[in-house]
Amino acid sequence: MCQDDAVQMFPPFSHIYVERQAMESPQTARILEHFPSGTVVPVRHYKDLFNRGRQRPELQRQSPSLVLARKTGTLLYPGAPVCQSFGNEHFYYTSLAMNCLFDCDYCFLKGMYPSGHMVVFVNLEDYVRELETLLAEHPVYLCVSYDTDLCAIESWTGYVEAFHALIRNHPGLTVEVRTKAACTGLLRRLEPEPGMIFAFTLSPQVVIDACEHRTPSLRQRLETVRTGLQAGHRIRLCFDPMLLIPDWETAYAEMLDCILEILGPDGLRRVQDVSIGSFRIAAGYLKPLRHQAPESAVIQYPFCVENGYAQYPDAVREGMETRMMSMLAPYLVPEQIFRWKE
pLDDT tens track for 11-22: 789 999 999 999
How far CA 119 is from CA of 16, 91, 148, 307, in Å, comes to 10, 24, 10, 30
Tell me which residue of 22, 13, 130, 94 sits closest to 61, measured CA to CA: 13
Please check whether residue 55 is in contact with residue 78, taking contact to mean a CB–CB distance below 8 angstroms: no
pLDDT at 121: 98
Residue 10, pLDDT score: 63
Which residues, including other chains, have CB under 8 Å from residue 323's CB and lie 6 or more apart?
249, 252
Query: What's the mean pLDDT in 126-140?
Result: 97
Give CA–CA dist 55/285, Å, rounded: 16
Strand order in the sheet with 140-143: 76-78, 91-94, 140-143, 173-179, 196-201, 234-242, 273-278, 337-339
At 318 the pLDDT is 96
pLDDT value for 2: 37
* pLDDT (mean) for 74-93: 83
pLDDT of residue 243: 98
Q: How far is CA 32 from the centre of its chain?
A: 23
Share of the chain above pLDDT 90, in %: 88
pLDDT score for 80: 72
State the pLDDT confidence band at 6, using cuts at 50, 70 and 90: very low
Q: Is the pTM of this model over 0.75?
A: yes
| 208-266: pLDDT as tens digits | 999 999 999 999 999 999 999 999 999 999 999 999 999 999 999 999 999 999 999 99
CA distances from 327 to 274, 312, 337 (A): 12, 21, 11
Band (pLDDT 50/70/90 cuts) for residue 295 is: confident
3-state secondary structure of 155: helix
Question: Which of these ranges, 44-58, 77-91, 301-315, has the smallest mean pLDDT?
Answer: 77-91
Preceding amide of 11 cis, omega within 30:
no
148 has pLDDT over 50: yes
Could you give the dihedral angle defined by the CA atoms of residues 298, 301, 304 and 310, in that order, rounded to the nearest 10 degrees? Answer: 40
Torsion, Cα 284 309 82 69, to 10 degrees, reads 0
Q: pLDDT category, 342, cuts 50, 70, 90?
A: low
- The closest alpha carbon to 45, from 121, 157, 148, belongs to 121
Q: Give the integer Cα–Cα distance in Å for 241 and 300.
A: 15
pLDDT at 82: 67
Q: Is the pLDDT of residue 196 over 50?
A: yes
Q: To the nearest whole number, what is the mean pLDDT of the chain? A: 94
Q: How confident is the model at residue 340 (pLDDT cuts 50, 70, 90)?
A: confident
Confidence label for 86 from pLDDT (cuts 50, 70 and 90): confident
Nearest CA among 38, 24, 71 for reference residue 156: 38
Strands 76-78 and 91-94: antiparallel
Confidence bin at 335 (pLDDT 50/70/90): very high
Residue of 318, 218, 241, 242 whose CA lies nearest to 83: 241
